[in-house]
Amino acid sequence: MARPAVSVILPTYNEAENIPVLLERLGQVLKSIAHEIIVVDDNSPDHTWEIADAIAAENPRIRVVRRLTGRGLSSAVVAGMSVAAGRTFAVMDADLQHDEAILPELVAAVDSGDCDLAIGSRGSAGGSYGDFSRFRRFLSWGAASMARLLLPVRVKDPMSGYFVVSRRLFKSSADRINPVGFKILLEFIGRNPDIKIKEIGYTFRLRKHGETKLSGSVMRNYLLALYDMRFGRFVSARFAMYSAVGSTGVLVNLLGERLGSAAGLPEVYTGLTNVLDPLYLSVPFGIQLSIISNYFLNNYITFYEHRHRGWRALWGFTLFEAISSIGVLVQWGVFQLLHVNGFLTGVLEEDLRRTVNNMIGIVVALIGNYFLNVNFTWKRR
C-alpha cells in the first residue's frame, strides 16, 4: 500500500470547540492529496480526544492517540510522527490560528524534493502576525532573536509552530530531538544546519475558543531547549540551572549576614575554644536564608516537573536542608584536607591558595549536593 503524501500531526489539549472545525477544514484543503490526520491528545479534561474519536469513527483518514501519561506540545508531535505513515509530516496547532489554505503548498514543496523543511511563516513575504498584541509580538521577537543568536537559524520565523518536514529528516533527527518545550521546529533547524528550508507566508489568526498554552513553564522550557541545543553537550541544562541558583544563594547568604549584623544578632561565646569564639550568629542566619532561597528557586525552576506541592514541600525542604548541611561539611572537609596538607604551596600566594582550595571544596560540595538532590529530594516518582 502506497504511503500517503502527508501525515498531519495535531497536538491537542482542551481544544474541544476547535477540533471539529479544523478537521473539516483540513478535509477540504487536502481532498485532492492522499493524507492521514493524527490527533495526539494529552488526555484533555474537556474530552477533545473523545470528540476526535467520534469523528474518526466516520473517517478512516483520521486517527487519535490519547496520551494518558506525559504532556507537552513537542513530545506530542514526536509521538505523532513516530506512528505516522506519510512521506511528509505536517505539524500545526489545533486552535485555528494557522491558515490551513497554504498546507498543500507546504506539502508540495517538501514532497517534490524542493526542500527538506517548509515553514508557514509570519515574517516572510505575504506573511503577517495579524492582530497579535504588542506584548505577544515583543515576546515572539525576543524568542526569535535568542534563537538566531544561539543557533544557526537562517529563517525569518523560527518560532513558527506550522511546518512540514520530510520523513527522512525526521528519521535522521529522531534520536537527537529533545522533546521539551513548545517549539519543536527549532529542534529540526538547530540540529540540522545544512538542510534546505522554504518559508511560505500566511496571516496568523486570533484564537476564538479555548485558552492560550503560553505560560511561564512554557517559556522556561523554551530557554532550556535553546541551552540544550547550544551548550548541552558540555553541561546539562539542569545542572547549569542548579549552579545558577546556587550562585544566587551566595548573594542571599552575604546579604543575610549583613542584615543579621545590622539587626543586632549577638555574638555567642561558647568558652570551648578561642579558635571558634566568638560565634557570629549573623553568619548562620545568612546561610539559612540562602538555603531557603535555593530550595524554592530549585523547586520552581530547576526541578519544575517534579516540584513539591502542599505538605510535600515541607518534607522536601527538610531533605534539602539536611543535604545542604552535608554539603557544608563536605566543602569544609575538602578545604581542610587540601589546605592543611599544603596543596599548591609554593605555586600560589597564600591568600590565593586559600581561595582556590575553598573553591575546589565548593565545586565538590555542589556536585555532591546536586547528585543527592536529584536522587532523593526531587526523585522522579
Query: What are the structural domains, with CATH classification, of the chain?
Result: 6-231 (3.90.550.10), 237-377 (no CATH)
Mean pLDDT of 343-368: 85
Which amino acid is residue 2, in one-letter code? A
For helices 19-29 and 48-56, the axis angle rounded to 10 degrees is: 40
Residues in the chain: 381
Residue 220: Cβ within 10 Å count: 17
Q: How far apart are CA 11 and CA 95, in angstroms?
A: 10
Mean pLDDT of 164-181: 88
Buried/exposed code over 283-293 (b: 16+ C-beta within 10 A; e: otherwise)? eebbbbbbbbb
Which amino acid is residue 190, in one-letter code? G
Please determine, for residue 5, whether its predicted confidence score (pLDDT) is greater than 90: yes
pLDDT-based confidence at residue 348 (cuts at 50, 70, 90): confident
Percent above pLDDT 90 for the chain:
52
Which amino acid is residue 194, in one-letter code? D
CA distances from 275 to 119, 270, 271 (A): 68, 11, 10
Q: Which residue has the cell 543557533?
A: 151
Q: How far apart are CA 67 and CA 224, in angstroms?
A: 23
Q: What is the pTM of this model?
A: 0.75
Q: In angstroms, how far is CA 156 from the centroid of its own chain? A: 22
Can you give the pLDDT at residue 209?
66
CA distances from 249 to 34, 252, 261, 297, 298 (A): 58, 5, 18, 10, 11
pLDDT-based confidence at residue 343 (cuts at 50, 70, 90): confident
pLDDT-based confidence at residue 216 (cuts at 50, 70, 90): low
Can you give the pLDDT at residue 338?
87
pLDDT-based confidence at residue 381 (cuts at 50, 70, 90): low
Which positions ≥6 away from 123 have C-beta within 8 Å? 144, 156, 157, 199
Can you give the pLDDT at residue 231?
87
Query: Contact at 8 Å (CB) between 62 and 34?
Result: no
Q: Which of 60, 65, 53, 61 is nearest to 20 (CA)?
A: 53
Can you give the pLDDT at residue 193?
84
- For the record, the C-alpha cell of 334 comes out as 575538602
Query: Contact at 8 Å (CB) between 9 and 91?
Result: yes
pLDDT-based confidence at residue 215 (cuts at 50, 70, 90): low
pLDDT tens sequence across 53-92:
999 999 999 999 999 987 888 889 999 999 999 999 999 9
Across the chain, mean pLDDT equals 88
Please determine, for residue 273, whether its predicted confidence score (pLDDT) is greater than 70: no
118 SS3 class: strand
> Could you please report the per-residue DSSP string of 182-245?
S-THHHHHHH-TT--EEEEE-BPPPP-SS-----HHHHHHHHHHHHHHHHTTTS-HHHHHHHHH
pLDDT tens sequence across 293-332:
999 999 999 998 899 999 999 999 999 999 999 998 898 8
Can you give the pLDDT at residue 214?
55
pLDDT tens sequence across 7-20:
999 999 999 999 99
Can you give the pLDDT at residue 6?
98
Mean pLDDT lowest among 60-74, 83-97, 209-223, 264-278: 209-223
Please determine, for residue 278, whether its predicted confidence score (pLDDT) is greater than 80: no
Phi/psi at 44 (nearest 5 deg)?
Answer: -60, 135
Q: How far apart are CA 138 and CA 121, in angstroms?
A: 17
pLDDT-based confidence at residue 244 (cuts at 50, 70, 90): very high
Kindly state the DSSP code that residue 5 receives in the 8-state scheme. S
Query: Contact at 8 Å (CB) between 254 and 248?
Result: no
Please determine, for residue 243, whether its predicted confidence score (pLDDT) is greater than 60: yes
